[in-house]
Amino acid sequence: MGSSPIKVAILIESNNMKKKIIIVGLIILFVLGGVVAANQKVDKVGIKLKQYNDLPYALCAASGTKPLNQHIIINGVRYRLGLSECPIITTGASFANLDLTNGKLTPDGTFATVWSLFGVPSTFPIKQTDGSWVNMTPVHRNFKNTITPGGGSSNQWSFPCVVEPRTLTATDGTKFRVAICKGPMMENINNKPIKFGTRTWTEAPKGIPNPIVAQILSNS
């Protein structure tokens, strides 16, 4: 007996999600191949990848960053810290770096905080340059770091975030919450510096200052 169109559609969607999870994991491993306080020093940070399911987290892949006059030292390198406003995702797979989260499900042990993790939702709220939030499929684009204001970048992967009490509404009526995350600027997800002039990858809309990036292309 043949399957119904609905069952077939569900099966296809399930397979697509599995493929997305595998692809994200491979990208992380390929790129990585080789609560944060001001002036904190973190040594011996490598990569210990951990997948969670249905753990609330902040997804900063399409966010920008506001620089702070605070710094953190990671593996002997001093980075400026920045704040990013990121939507909170509550379902699906997410990926953490245990070298930074130490295996904790949240930074302070309560759900007043979350980690900024990688995830694979097909759509999520993305802040636009006009301040509105659009629930959309992220668009991958290349970004070249520059020394001009707003031309830098940051890394928030597996850094701590504080959950905002307010509830926001996207342009399509989707209600969601955000977290404010604090992480290093001009650092790649492999915990190494990114130089100005480096070509990187981001999901942040064009014009968003100091976007969250991953370095996956060589300099040119």
pLDDT by residue (tens digit) across 211-220?
999 986 444 3
The DSSP H or E segment spanning 29 is helix 5-32
In a domain, 16, yes or no: yes
Strand partners, 176: 168
In a domain, 212, yes or no: no
In a domain, 151, yes or no: yes
Amino acid found at 40: Q
* Domain encompassing residue 194: 5-202
| Nearest-angstrom CA–CA distance, 162 and 205 | 23
| Nearest-angstrom CA–CA distance, 36 and 107 | 9
Amino acid found at 128: Q
Mean pLDDT of the chain: 85
Task: Report helix, strand or coil for 48.
Answer: coil
pLDDT tens per residue, range 96-120: 999 999 999 999 999 999 999 999 8
Look at residue 70 and tell me whether its pLDDT is greater than 80: yes
The model carries a pTM of 0.81
Determine phi and psi for 33, rounding to 5 degrees. Answer: -25, -85
Buried-state track 171-189, b at ≥16 Cβ within 10 A, e below 16 = eeeeebbbbebbbbbbbbb
The residue behind tokens 């959309």 is 136
The residue behind tokens 């939702």 is 121
In a domain, 111, yes or no: yes
| Nearest-angstrom CA–CA distance, 101 and 35 | 9
In a domain, 113, yes or no: yes
In a domain, 86, yes or no: yes
In a domain, 219, yes or no: no
The token pair at 15 is 């397979």
Rounded average pLDDT over 72-83: 96
User: What secondary structure does DSSP assign to 103-156, as a single string?
Assistant: T-SSSSSSTTEEEB-EE--S-EEEE-TTS-EEEE----EEEE--SSTT---B--
In a domain, 210, yes or no: no
Query: Cβ contacts of residue 10 below 8 Å, gap of 6+?
Result: none
**Count of structural domains within the chain:** 1
pLDDT tens per residue, range 130-149: 999 999 999 999 999 999 99
Amino acid found at 30: F
